Structure 1
Amino acid sequence: MQVTSVGHAGFHISTSAGTILCDPWVNPAYFASWFPFPDNSELDWDALGDCDYLYVSHLHKDHFDPKNLAEHVNKDTTVLLPDYPVPDLKHELEKLGFHNFFETTDSLKHTVSGPKGDLDIMIIALRAPADGPIGDSGLVVSDGETVAFNMNDARPVDLDVLTNQFGPVDVHMLQYSGAIWYPMVYDMPQRAKDAFGTQKRQRQMDRCRQYIEQVDATWVIPSAGPPCFLDDELRGLNDVYGDPANIFPDQMVFLDQMRRHGKDNGLLMMPGTTADLAGSTLTSLTHPIPTDEVEAIFTTGKADYIEAYAQRQAGVLAEVKASWAPAAGEPMLEALKALFEPIMTQTDQISDGIGYPVVMIMGAEHVVLDFPKRIVREPISDEKFRYSFEIPAELVRTVLRDDEPDWVNSIFLSTRFKAKRVGGYNEFLYTFFKCLTDERIAYADGWFAEAHDDTATIVKDGWEIQRRCPHLKADLSKFGVVDGNKLTCNLHGWDWNLETGKCLTSKGHELRSKPAR
């Protein structure tokens, strides 16, 4: 098996039975805030797109790149499709001209047969509202000799299905770096922002190391990040100087973290780097440029590399910005009422879970999403808000113009906005903004309405605790960390008070816990 990095979460997997192109992202995403790092624009995308199979893990725009797929990927290829509750991914691929789909069943091994032979595959599909835009997934591939697990930025809660059906894993690709807007966009003192950033940076690397321990692959490839910020307005988000509060550490940082925890099996890859594997044996690792130059991109030469990259992409960035809707125009109140009110009235779990009016500040125009009343209105004089978003008007006008069903997968991940909140993170609020279609909101509301399984119990560090996390059902025997009377689930970094069972991170999500006897 030959595994070639094509940038970010993207890989080209070549076997005697066929080739698989995974998550081929090259064009800027999220209002041109994110670019792949390192630069992958010079790869031969026509050759990469002449593949036997295509795997797009989910609809986040740093995985689903419609321009690249439309221009460079063979439309007759077989698409390996995750088993998602809503058909949005399939529909978006069909719009681009793809028509051969192999529809998988979640966490079940399949054999795909082509003219070159048979491949065993499995797609682990995650279906919670927090998993990407209603879905995220990881791909397992076996050519009969080598087993590869491309987890990208998915967060599976049960990996027993992997080893039970495929045995030992030879190479494991997974996310270790940040892919979020927190805490950078929040209005809080810099000291607090630094503290939260430092905590998040370490937690996301801790989570990655926990997955590495569970899968126990022979080789590990840190991937799916970090993005590169080339716009002058966002350039400071890049982790150029090893800031411990920066949530976007790069591959070299994480490989060092692995070594400090006794793991020396990590592989540094950049776009064009190829790893040849025979079973668990790495027969070669070949970079497109000398190794010392590769390492310099992540270390001593990183600032200069990003500056040169920004200059090369300046025209692309300018073209994307020119495509945005003008900031000035008719008031947006009626358009926002038409978009949001039908969604608000369809959901009880989510609107009630938000529980308060939310203000959107778009230049001089202020609009209130009144979730308790299920209406969109103008603010009342001297009204106070628990949640507020300050978003450039041109971004809102653009998503309205384009009928964008997911503001998380556009505005929020761009980091081109500011937010304020009183109290903890509200999962329901961000779920609402990613479910702006009838089908999505119906699924998400039903998901929250289902009771979480809290029947199984574990004992951990002197506490008797329900085994499944009240947030997204992670196994707390694997992801739970107890510190005094506080439990942290490292899958998403949520905290609970073990004495009271109260969630310290968000509203609701009570935990069953008591001191062990």
Structure 2
Amino acid sequence: MQITSVGHAGFHIQTDAGSILCDPWVNPTYFASWVPFPDNSELDWKSLGQCDYLYVSHLHRDHFDERNLRENVSKDATVLLPDYPVPDLRRELEKLGFTKFVETEDSVKTTVTNDKGSLDVMIIALRAPADGPIGDSGLLVSDGETTVFNMNDARPIDLDVIDEAFGHVDVHLLQYSGAIWYPMVYDIPRKSKANFAAQKRQRGMDRARSYIEQVGATWVVPSAGPPMFLDEDLFYLNDIGNDETSIFPDQETFLEQMTIHGTDDGERHRGLMMVSGSTADFTGSTLDQIEHPYPPADVFGENKGPYLERMKEKFAPIIAADKATWASAEGEPLLQPLRELFEPIMAQSDLICDGIGYAVGLVMGDQTVVLDFPNRIVREPKEGEGKYRYGFRIDPALVRTVVENHEPDWVNTIFLSTRFTTWRIGGYNEYLYTFFKCLTDERIAYADGWFSEAHDDAASITKDGWEIQRRCPHLKADLGKFGVIEGEKLTCNLHGWQWDLPTGRCLTSKGHELRAERLDS
């Protein structure tokens, strides 16, 4: 099996039974904020696109590159489709001209066959509203000799199915770096922001190392790492000089973490550096050879800053051209368009609106619009209303653009761009961001139903002197594997949520109480 990194979470997997192109992202996205790191724009995308199978893990724009899929990927390719409850991914691929689909069943191994031979594949599909834009997934592929798990930035909660279906994994491709706007965009003191960022950075790498231990692959390739932020306004977000307060550590940093924490022990889990264009040949768990298009040191360490400066100059006209496509910041007041967008969704989502529980302010230039979730309306501010518990300051050009484009997901457009600021009083509100992901009838109906289902808290585990429910109240992760107890605080490393054990109170968001009891010593 030959595995080629095509940038970020993207890989080309070549086998005797055919090739699979995974998550081929190349064009700047999220309002031109994100660019693949290292640069992959000069790869031979026409050749890479002549694949037998296409796998797009989910609809986030750093995985689903509409332009690249339309222009460069063969429409004769068979799509390996995750088992999602809402068929948005299939619909978007059909719009681009793809007609051949293998509809997989979540976490069930299947065999795909063409005139070249057969491959065993399995897609682990995540279905919670918090997973991507209504879904995220990871792909397992075996050619009978080598097994690869392309986890990209999925966060599966049950990895036992891998061993049951495939046995030993030879190569593990996984995310380890941030893909979020917290805490950089928050209106909080600089020192607090730095502390929160350092915690977020370390939790992300801790989670990745937990997955490495659970999967138990021979080779680990850190992927789906940081993008490049090449717009002058966002350049500060790049991690230059191994900044411990950046949530975007790079591949070199994570490989160092594997060594420091003993995850890379030289035998069981060996970290492998791959950059855009690197090609590695495997026979089972044996790495036969690896070739890089240039020495990886050219883009890391002391060379990273100069490299990013060169990339900033290279991509400046591309970013400028993208900005020219945005809607004008000027125009009619946004109150009525936002009423038409949000109020029908509010009317369908009692559980989510009640979960938000308060009015949210949208400050767009000189306009402020209030999303009044308790009353299910969008309105103007009331006199003397004051500062809202949760609020966003967003360039009206971005809001007008997503409204005009009928975007169903502000998280996957505005928020991941980091081109906004926000504030909140109190904890993170998962219901609010779920609402912004679900701006269609179908999405909001699914999300409301998902939250209405009771979480499984019947099974218990004992850990560090406590008996606690086995499943995380957030997204049902196994706390026996992902839970970390420090004193009287429990952290679930899957998403970094925390609980006070004596009371069971969630410290991250309201609701989501945990059942916990101290054991007698």
Give the Cα–Cα distance (whole angstroms) in 2 for the partners of residues 99 and 516 of structure 1.
Answer: 57
- In the other structure, the counterpart of 2:147 is 147
Match of 1:383 among 372, 385, 390: 385
Q: Which residue among 274, 289, 295 is the counterpart of 2:279?
A: 274
Post-superposition Cα deviations, 1:350-382, rounded to whole Å, max 9, x if no partner, equal 000000000000000000000000000000112
Deviations 1:26-84 (A, max 9, x none): 00110000000000000000000000000000000000000000000001110000000
Q: Which of 119-128 and 241-250 deviates more?
A: 241-250
User: In the alignment, does 2:305 pair up with 1:303?
Assistant: yes
User: Quick one: which of 433, 436, 439 aligns to 1:433?
Assistant: 436
* Cα distance in structure 2, aligned partners of 1:242 and 1:267: 19
- The amino acid across from 2:106 in the alignment is D
Cα distance in 2 for residues equivalent to 1:78 and 1:61: 21
Pairwise CA distance, 1:315: 1.2
> Which residue is equivalent to 1:502?
505
Q: Deviations over 1:180-201 (max 9, x none)?
A: 0000000000010011000000
Give the whole-Å Cα distance in 1 for the aligned partners of 2:48 and 2:298.
26
Give the partner amino acid of 2:403: L
Q: Unaligned stretches of 5+ in structure 1?
A: none
How far apart, CA to CA, are the structure 2 residues paired with 1:88 and 1:257?
Answer: 37
Within the candidate set 353, 357, 365, 2:367 is matched to 365
Once the two structures are TM-superposed, the CA of residue 296 in structure 1 deviates from its matched residue by 2.8
Residue 24 of structure 1 aligns with which residue? Answer: 24
> How far does residue 413 in structure 1 lie from its aligned partner after superposition?
0.1
Who is 1:120 aligned against? 120
Listed as ranges, the matches of 1:9-158 within 5 Å are: 9-158=9-158
Specify the alignment match of 2:416 in structure 1: 413
* Cα distance in structure 2, aligned partners of 1:374 and 1:76: 46
Match of 2:336 in 1: 334
Offset of residue 348 of structure 1: 1.1
SS at match of 1:102: strand
Q: Which residue of 1 aligns with 2:347?
A: 345
Deviation at 1:217, TM superposition (A): 0.3
Offset, 1:516: 1.6
- SS of the equivalent of 1:411 reads helix
Where in structure 1 do 4 or more consecutive aligned residues deviate above 3 Å? Answer: none
Alignment map for 1:89-488 (pairs within 5 Å): 89-262=89-262, 263=264, 264=266, 265-289=270-294, 291=295, 294-384=296-386, 385-488=388-491
Alpha-carbon distance in structure 2 between the residues aligned to 1:153 and 1:59: 12
Q: Deviations over 1:126-158 (max 9, x none)?
A: 000000000000000000000000000000000
Partner Cα distance (2:45, 2:96) in 1 = 16
Distance 2:143 2:170 in 1: 12
Q: Secondary structure at the match of 1:492?
A: coil
After superposition, the C-alpha distances for 1:306-364 in whole angstroms (9 at most, x for unaligned) are 11111111111011000000000000100000000000010111000000000000000
The 1-side partners of 2:460 and 2:196 are apart by: 31
**In structure 2, what residue type is equivalent to 1:113?**
T
User: 1:295, CA displacement in angstroms?
Assistant: 1.4
CA distance in 1: counterparts of 2:284 and 2:412, whole angstroms: 37
* Residue deviations 1:423-478 (CA, integer Å, cap 9, x gap): 01000000000000000000000000000000000000000000000000000000
Letter paired with 2:211? Y
Count of aligned pairs:
514
How many percent identity over aligned positions?
69
Distance 1:355 1:174 in 2: 36
TM-score (ref. length: structure 1):
0.99
Q: Does 1:514 align with 2:517?
A: yes
**Contact map agreement 2:241 2:302 (CA 8 A) in 1:** no
Read off the aligned partner of 2:272 and give its amino acid letter: L
